[in-house]
Structure 1
Amino acid sequence: MKINTYRTILEQMWQKDKKCFAPDAEFPPLCLRCGKPLNRRLVVNALSRYADVHICEDCGMDEALRDACGQVLPMWEWYALSCGRDMNLHSDGPALTTICGFSHIYDGPQKPFPLNHLEHPASELVYSRSDYDGWRWWTTWHHGSEEPTEPELSEEIDQFTEALLQLPEFKTLDTMNRFCRANAQPTSDRTEFNLYAATEHFYIWLRMITRARDYNLYCHFYLKEPADDVGQME
């Protein structure tokens, strides 16, 4: 399974745009960040700090200034993503997005987990809780039922979790923190962020906590109803 992020989507777009340069471009493509034309000479354009793409000189300067003071422009606000350009490029796998397309499940029936008195949406099958100890991730699982999970569903959960933790953004707690600042939905707590995804059988909520010596990553898996559609990054 391949999990897409805003970074991977932009990098796919750039691989298409980069073909205009050889090494100069007669008709340069638009800057993915602001929508203005790039310099016709590839080497004059700036390399983004958040994705392996070239952006215009003005955006390169703005990105550097923002990065220095911790005021990152969220990647979903980049021109190429906000205008919806080439969004079909990410169709080969689930996408992590700041848009929750399944909020209705939180207003529906609730249930307690075994050995857990907290209420969860009735569709929640399982969730994981992970912490980063400075060297690696440690994960524990909490099941919503004492009945065994169907092998097909277990395999899908395992594939998503393995693909998630193999992303360079989740290599360490520091890389996750940097990723969250540019790619995840902020909350009222500046150290906590949300992302959402959908696979064939599940809606998924990622809760990311960037504080050291805490549980840093929660992955909640909610079973879809048969008629539900797979969510798409918008």
Structure 2
Amino acid sequence: MKEFTLSTARTFEDVWQETEICPAFLGTSPRPVKEVGYCRADHDGHHWYHDYFPVHPEYMTDAIKEEFERLAADILETEPVVQGIPGILKFCADYPESVQKDGARNRYNFYLEGEAANYWVTFLDLPKDYNFYLHIYVK
């Protein structure tokens, strides 16, 4: 049994109160100043493939890294999420309050307060695109 509990209620509202254009992040969109980094993943119909992108690498600690890596692996290996988009849809069907319309796709948002950091989990149901994001925020 996995040791995490995802919630559809965001309990760490302060994360989005202060943002900046971060030099370590290659985008031009403002990022929360408390964001350590994020993982994004896509499913090719057989396996998940994911990469990590730092936003504020100076915030990364061994404890956050260990917790984040364990959490990402646990979520992506959990039934039915391990199956890709069909599994995401099956999992998210139990949480209708998680859905947010985002153009042609649905975005499903979940949150988790870890011991070392806070996390925002997003699933997306668009084929041939990234289907999973896991953002890490310092407490």
Flag whether TM exceeds 0.5 (same fold).
yes
More strand by share: 2
Q: Which residue of 2 aligns with 1:180?
A: 92
- Map of 1:71-150 to 2, 5 A cutoff? 94-112=4-22, 114=24, 115-147=26-58, 149-150=60-61
Please say which structure displays the higher CA radius of gyration: 1
Identical amino acids, percent of aligned pairs:
25
Instruction: Give the Cα separation in 1 of the matches to 2:59 and 2:12.
Output: 25
| Shift >4 Å, 4+ stretches | none
Alignment match of 2:110 (pick from 195, 201, 222): 195
Which residues of structure 1 form unaligned runs of 5+? Answer: 4-93, 225-234
TM normalised by structure 1 equals 0.53
Q: Scaled by the length of structure 2, what TM-score is found?
A: 0.85
The code of the aligned residue for 1:125 comes to: V
Residue 39 of structure 2 contacts residue 52 of structure 2 at CA under 8 Å; is this kept in 1? yes
2:94 maps to amino acid: A
SS at match of 2:115: coil
Q: State the aligned residue count.
A: 134
What RMSD, in angstroms, separates the aligned Cα atoms of the two structures? 2.0
Partner of 1:154: 65
Q: Which amino acid aligns with 1:188?
A: K
Describe the shift of the 1:206–1:137 C-alpha distance in structure 2 as closer, same or farther (beyond 3 A).
Answer: same
Identify, as 1 or 2, the structure richer in helix: 1
Q: Is the 8 A contact 1:187 1:193 kept in 2?
A: yes
Whether contact under 8 Å (2:119, 2:136) holds in the other structure is yes
Equivalent residues in 2 for 1:22-41, closer than 5 Å: none
What's the CA shift for 1:148? 8.2
Shift of 1:213: 0.8
**Helix, strand or coil for the counterpart of 2:36?**
strand
Larger RCO: 1 or 2 (CA < 8 Å, sep 6+)? 2
1:152 partner SS:
helix
C-alpha distance 104-147 of structure 1, shift in aligned 2 (>3 A): closer
The runs of 5 or more residues in structure 2 that have no matched partner are none
Aligned partner of 2:133 in structure 1 is 218
